[in-house]
A and B are shown apart, each in its own frame.
Chain A
Amino acid sequence: MPDAFAPAPGATAPALGYDVERVRADFPILTRRIGEFPLSYLDSANTSQKPKQVVEAIARHYLEHNANVARAMHTLGAEASSAFEGAREKVARFIGAAGPQEVVFTKNASEALNLVAYTLGGRLSPGDEIVISVMEHHSNIVPWQLLAQRTGAILRWFDITADGRLDLARAVAEGLINDRTKIVSIAWVSNVLGTVNPVAEIAGLAHRVGAHVVVDGSQGVPQLPTDVASLGADLLAFTGHKMLGPTGIGVLWGRYGLLETLPPFLGGGEMIEVVKLTGSTFAKPPARFEAGTPPIAQAVGLGAAIDYLERLGMENVAAHEQRITAYALERLQGVEGVSILGPTVPVDRGGAISFTLTTPDGLEVHPHDVMQFLDARGVAVRGGHHCARPLHERLGITASTRASGYVYTTETEIDALVDGLVYVRDFFGGAR
């Protein structure tokens, strides 16, 4: 079997450390055609595609090792438990956690953030402050709104600068993070603007006033080498399906000293120590937060995804993302009528590129119409508010079109996007 990660014989050494065409060979879905066009999948910030290594690991688990974990004492139960806990160890190593005991499996990043809002948030009193940013995904807004309603705490947020960066200077000047701040929850990388936020700096400000720092790593962990210690967060949420893994598995990492002090979230099997009808005591983390049968095969799939990413090397994944993002930013800025929402230079910037498209006669083509035309040409993008309606409101628009690549994305796919945008602009602009 050819090794996808070794340079092709005779090929000039790839600057990236891997050959994107060889990576693509592991993703059969990328050979699909949409009508007469080859698929250009540019919706990876929504969900990534899965390499066959991940799909096969899940299939193998179900076909050869399936049993419940922890409770089943027989041979298959031991195999399933070992696979599940093995996945936890892989996740811990992948993000630089102190150990697997710091890794809680959830069903997705939203559940991880809700878990934090519920457990950490239980300590809040009226007048306490929670700080988020205007660029958050709904899953890092709504749990905090619900918490504020329950506790009487106040929800505040970082604004953005004109070029789509977090406005840290203004926040400092206005004392956004202050003695009343108890929780700061922020996206590492914006799913709309692509902005990489200065998490360590924010964490420094928050820790100085004794606040806890929660990071939504849904877009960051798939793209960037992750080391929770240098990130500076106390808790980190992310999801498997955006990093080559299956849906149905998310992760909450927490400093163990903090996790230990948090109360349970959901009650049920395996999160207990002793249950009596008069009351129960609870297991230590991470079991305390994993009530009921967990997503076992999904954890195995996530473990396989991490194996895949580690074989690529996260430095190479990040470098490829940077190269494709730089290329896309340059090409998109060459299309008259395209206006990019986030930073237009590939500095501290992730791979999601959102934009609007306007015809020469001033008609802003709605993102759903853009999406429909691109889809007809095989280019899959997302049109809408990308679960970040407050950000779009802040920018004075209702929706945008977003292109986002990943480890398998090529310049050819970006070219297909650009050609499609010119076509749709001219169709609506009457030049067809």
Chain B
Amino acid sequence: MSVEAMYQEIILDHYKAKHHSGLREPYQAQVTHVNPTCGDEVMMRVALDGDRVVDVSYEGVGCSISQASTSVMTDLVIGRTVDEALALHEEFTQMMHSQGKAEPDEDRLEDAVAFIGVSQFPARVKCALLGWSAFKDAAAQALAAAGKE
């Protein structure tokens, strides 16, 4: 596939105008994830109400793929339960490891299906997963923090 097809309009739009960007209060967990090979970084906060994700806020530096993927992810998980969000994380991760062979469910993954092209570039799969991995980690910590209260 061509590199132009990999960089879909949806990805560039999210990159240039990231949704839910910035760090906000309140939150139950904050994590920082890095991609040591390229120096991409994301600091992410997750706020829960019970088991529902009410906010995901973040600040990051990185390539268009990592930034856009994080933006798309926040659209998908905010408003869902942690279990639903983690199921989407699993679906997205599977799609990214499919080397372009997955047939993602657009009704469920919405804008995130645009990253199917990225899955054909193994070196960039980590970029697309950076924000999602940070979310999974932060959500687990937020749940644990809620359990302790």
Please report A residues at the B interface, Cβ cutoff 8 Å: 363, 365-369, 372-373, 375-376, 383-385, 389, 392, 398-399, 427-428
Contact = CB atoms under 8 A, between A and B. Distances in A.
A373 B4 CA distance: 8
Contact of A392 (B16, B39, B62): B39
A398 B63 contact: no
A385 B3 contact: no
Nearest to A35: B2
B7 A427 contact: yes
A399 B6 contact: no
Interface of B: 2-4, 6-7, 12, 16, 37-41, 61-65, 121, 124, 127
A399 B37 CA distance: 10
Chain B interface, DSSP helix/strand/loop, else mixed: mixed
Nearest to A376: B3
B39 A372 contact: no
A154 B34 CA distance: 28
Nearest to B64: A369
Contacts of A369: 7, 63-65
Contacts of A398: 39-41, 61-62
Contact of A384 (B4, B16, B38, B61): B38
B62 A385 contact: no
Nearest to A372: B3
The residue among B3, B39, B40, B124 with the most chain A CB atoms within 10 A of its own CB is: B39
B65 A385 contact: no
A385 B12 contact: no
Contacts of A367: 38, 63
A373 B40 CA distance: 18
What 7 pairs between A and B have smallest CB-CB spacing? A376-B3, A368-B63, A366-B63, A384-B38, A385-B39, A398-B61, A398-B39
23 contacts: A363-B16, A366-B63, A367-B63, A368-B40, A368-B63, A368-B65, A368-B124, A369-B7, A369-B63, A372-B6, A372-B7, A372-B121, A375-B3, A376-B2, A376-B3, A384-B37, A384-B38, A389-B39, A398-B40, A398-B41, A427-B7, A428-B12, A428-B64
Contacts of A399: 38-39
A399 B7 CA distance: 20
